[in-house]
Amino acid sequence: MKKIEKVNFIINTLDKLYPKIPIPLDHSNTFTLLIAVLLSAQSTDVRVNKTTPKLFSIADNPYDMSKLSIDEIKKIIRPIGLSNTKAKGIYNLSKILVTNFSGIVPNNFHDLESLPSVGHKTASVVLAQAFDIPTFPVDTHIHRLMYRWGLSNGKNVVQTENDAKRLFPKKKWNKIHLQIIWYGREYCPARGWKIENDIITKKVGRGIYKKN
């Protein structure tokens, strides 16, 4: 199957399975989305969503967040993991947003990635979900599935992102990256994966991921 045929099959299948796709992380504004995405690194969305209500009830904007101490933030987010590093990042980026950006989360890669603890993936998610700017954030699910489907070589997430942007229509990037994440969780997990349940990989996957 040619790559364009694979892409069309993937798009059509995902649109049937997930015509409307929810944003996995609970948030009330752009700032809380930024913090939630930052916290989700090396954690799960479920754990983040259980933890952030307490934090956001105290501080849902950079002004209030920067009034907390790092230790206060750390205590609240401890269940998520990496709490020391993440608490410092949250505190410092909040200070910078207040000082340099009038408390407003910027809407471009350059400024977002200049903030402490905000990498390319976090910036991509915020731009896509808060500002509807076409990006293609690559998490472990997308990296795994792009390889299983023979759409990328699996060397690194940078290559996977470039391949995804090259193959999928730009107007679909923001929706399809979420669809692939949900599909990966439901049908194509890293552990306990069963080919008979995986509609897409059965059709377009590499030979090693197909039944003989």
Is 109:123 a contact under the CB 8 Å cutoff?
A: yes
Q: Which tokens is 40 given?
A: 């989700």
Would you give per-residue pLDDT tens digits along the chain (212 residues)? 899 999 999 999 999 999 998 889 999 999 999 999 999 998 999 999 999 999 999 999 999 999 999 999 999 999 998 999 999 999 999 999 999 999 999 999 999 999 999 999 999 999 999 999 999 999 999 999 999 999 999 889 999 999 999 999 999 999 999 999 999 999 999 888 899 999 999 999 987 776 54
121, 165, 172, 203: the catalytic one is 121
Q: Verify whether residue 139 is a known catalytic residue.
A: yes
**Dist CA 91 CA 66 (whole Å):** 6
Domains and CATH numbers, the chain: 3-21+136-209 (1.10.1670.10), 30-131 (1.10.340.30)
Q: Verify whether residue 15 is a known catalytic residue.
A: no
15, 45, 139, 203: the catalytic one is 139
Q: Cα 33 vs. chain centroid, distance in angstroms? A: 11
